[in-house]
Amino acid sequence: MKIVVIGGSGLIGSKLVSRLEAAGHEAVAASPNSGVNTLTGEGLAEALAGAEVVVDVANSPSFENAAVLAFFETSSRNILAAEAGAGVRHHVALSVVGTERLADSGYMRAKVAQETLIRASGVPYTILHSTQFFEFLGGIAHSAAAGEAIHLSTALFQPIAADDVADALATIVVAPPANGTIEVAGPTAFRMDALVRRYLEATGDARGVVGEADALYFGAKIDDISLMPAAGAHIGATDYDTWFAGR
């Protein structure tokens, strides 16, 4: 099949493209660097010509509330319209476990808006909800830093290796559209403050992590349910220790 990966040069996209090519598919990595701009629509029709599946793993360059909403709404509208014109048979999108539970987060509101557009588009679809990536532990710490202290929630989360997310997407791409949502998560639940503290210590970062039940996560208060997958979620094979040893 011809499969277009929007955001195909990023962390997940590049891994997915490699997997699809290894399986014998024509995988097109679409990004501004390749002449495809989902915000203006430039290059979309040409990239999608003859494609059977489109996978959207692009992320907003800004997490500011208005900017991130504009990115996901504009990009999704342009992609979905181009898919309708090209006769694409399956739209696959990567989103986040807990989007619907975190309305105080501008980023999560933007992802909900993206998902709403996908469901209403008429293009057969599958949305993959993933938990946080191990690769983003440093970014989570950075988002909560105040001087030499990092204030993080003590809530549970169940992070996953990016390789396992790419594996899940590679399976979804060749399956019939679910016209619904599938969840994927890592094998182990952690307290967010405890795992980030462990990660920073192992990487030689001397900043202290302060666990606070009321600490915000990208603008939203979270609890032990907010970021956790439901029963029946697909579980990635890579645990934290294995991931860290191979990073």
168-205 pLDDT, tens digit per residue, is 999 999 999 999 999 999 999 999 999 999 999 999 99
Using one digit for the tens of pLDDT, what is the confidence trace for 73-94? 999 999 999 999 999 999 999 9
Q: Which of 74, 67, 116 is nearest to 93 (CA)?
A: 116
Mean model confidence pLDDT for the chain: 96
pLDDT band at 244 (very low <50, low <70, confident <90, very high): very high
Overall average pLDDT of the 127-153 stretch: 95
Whether 154 has a pLDDT exceeding 90, the answer reads yes
Check: pTM over 0.85? Answer yes or no: yes
pLDDT of residue 212: 96
- Asked if residue 148 has pLDDT above 90, the reply is no
Instruction: Please state the rounded mean pLDDT for residues 100-129.
Output: 96
pLDDT given for residue 31 in this prediction = 92
State the pLDDT at residue 153: 97
Question: What percent of the chain lies above the pLDDT cut of 90?
Answer: 97
pLDDT per residue as tens digits for the range 43-77 = 999 999 999 999 999 999 998 999 999 999 999 99
Calpha distance 168→181 (Å, rounded): 13
Is the CB of residue 158 less than 8 Å from the CB of residue 204? no
**Confidence class for position 228, pLDDT limits 50, 70, 90:** very high
Confidence of residue 12 (pLDDT cuts 50, 70, 90): very high
Residue 147 has pLDDT above 90, yes or no: no
Could you tell me the pLDDT band of residue 247, with boundaries at 50, 70 and 90? confident
pLDDT score for 89: 97
Question: What is the rounded average pLDDT of the residues 95-116?
Answer: 96
**Could you give the CA distance from residue 65 to residue 86 in angstroms, rounded to a whole number?**
32
